[in-house]
Amino acid sequence: MGTKVVKVCAAHVAPVFLDREATVEKACGLIAEAGRAGAELVVFPEVFVPGYPYWIWTKQTKDGVPFFVELMDNAVVVPGPATDAIGKAAKQAGVFVVMGMTERGGGTLYNTLLYFDNAGRIIGKHRKLVPTMSERVVWGRGDGSDLSVFDTPLGKISGLICWEHTMDLARYALAAEGEQIHCSVWPGISAVTNDPNSEIFDAVAECACRHHAVAAQAFVICVMTPVAQDSIDRLGFAGRPDMMKTGGGWTAVIAPNGQVIAGPHTGAEEKLLMADIDLGQIAFAKFACDSAGHYARPDVFTLLINREKQNITEEMLE
């Protein structure tokens, strides 16, 4: 496999809450900054555009309806003006970009990772397969049609969203396609202090990412959003640290041996966390346990993947 060093960037940054245009403008500026710093790949957090719907954990469902309507109005149509702007920024900076966003498809919203190459083209996307618990009042389900690994000049890139990392078969599907760089994106739930998972969330994400790095023999770029004051203010929790606080998140770059090689960066300070990753290290991990090769047992276990797009209509042809 040889030595191949790629400079990657994990963007530990917060959006302009529920403002698509302002958040895209901020993203474009950060892409340019990362490009000037030499990054070849920039990864943004889960639904960075236009922000994570924290109200699902902090308010009753009926009280979240106005926020849902605002989220619908600020969701991203793919392709559209927002993706055009991000693609232009990627091209100008000469970097690959993985962007978390709430995507609008018809009358349904999806939790989506969108992939851009360094020419600004959309090369793929992934919709979260199962929104987690209360997230189901906001987002629809994805399907297997976009559970993919993208073969790029930087390496084989893929990713999963938050609690998808508990779906071992989804992780194995990507490992079986030979992923080398895994983009792991999450929200800053550790700053949502009324959530019973807040105290353990960052630790769970760290464990999930470090395990996946070893199990898939891949580099993992773990990116989380810190909670910013504008999100707290908009949700009506200013001065309520018992409900939400600024900061949160655990952002790091992890090697195939499970060791953290950049970060972790936590808290409210925004940072473009940079790391040089050498894909040549993957060979050493594969030597020990190539999970989709000599360490697999297809005579005992096989994975069936349905990659058909799940359509609501079907035409009958004569």
Asked if residue 244 lies in contact with residue 193, where contact means CB atoms within 8 angstroms, the answer is yes
Rounded distance between C-alpha atoms, residue 26 and residue 230, angstroms: 15
- Active site positions, annotated: 46, 128, 162
Strand 219-224 and strand 250-254: pairing? antiparallel
Rounded distance between C-alpha atoms, residue 295 and residue 146, angstroms: 26
Asked if residue 11 lies in contact with residue 223, where contact means CB atoms within 8 angstroms, the answer is yes
Asked if residue 53 lies in contact with residue 71, where contact means CB atoms within 8 angstroms, the answer is yes
Rounded distance between C-alpha atoms, residue 53 and residue 267, angstroms: 19
175 secondary structure, DSSP code: H
- Distances from the Cα of 184 to the Cα of 68, 145, 213, 318, angstroms: 25, 19, 11, 45
